[in-house]
Structure 1
Amino acid sequence: MDKENYLAFCKTELRSVFENTKAGKPNDKLKYRVEGLFHAAKLLGLLSTEQANAIIESEHQAVFGESVSERLKRKNQLKQLRESDPDAYFNIPTIDRL
């Protein structure tokens, strides 16, 4: 397997992790496997940390339609709202809370 094929495989597996999460069926085993694939790519000099982060951001944007930091911020705001005002939280349509 050459570098391009390996990185394409990493991207495909990463997208599967994100798609499973979006579908409400997170797969920790696959997530940890993908983390290992990216770690191996860095150790073998196939990717820098910056390149790996760019791939993660790109795939995350493709699946969720928002960056990792935007999604984290939105999730934290929803969590705070749920804790402070459950009625307001549950007035938000479920699809918007995912």
Structure 2
Amino acid sequence: MSALNRDEVAHLAMLARIDLSQDELQTLSGQLEQIARSVAKVGEVAADDVPPMSHPLPLTNVTRVDEVRPSLPVEDALAGAPAAQQRRFLVPRILDEE
């Protein structure tokens, strides 16, 4: 596996919207490389007869039937909201994207 360089770590930080200093980029590039090597070791020890799984125990998703039931009218739900627009809660924008 190739080493993660500062530019790649800076790109990942930008995608995660994390502002990192040059020192942090240098430190994280080494730490992320070590994490990537550790994760790669899992692939080396996985046996062919063991299927990939997301959890060590079998899980069953218990769901209920989706049925329409009476609910709170929109006006009542929005009555306590600080701001509403087009019958929806109005919240401040948190990203600079359209």
Q: Same fold (TM over 0.5)?
A: no
| TM-score, normalised with respect to structure 1 | 0.26
Q: Which has the larger radius of gyration?
A: 2
- Larger RCO of the pair (alpha carbons < 8 Å, separation 6+): 1
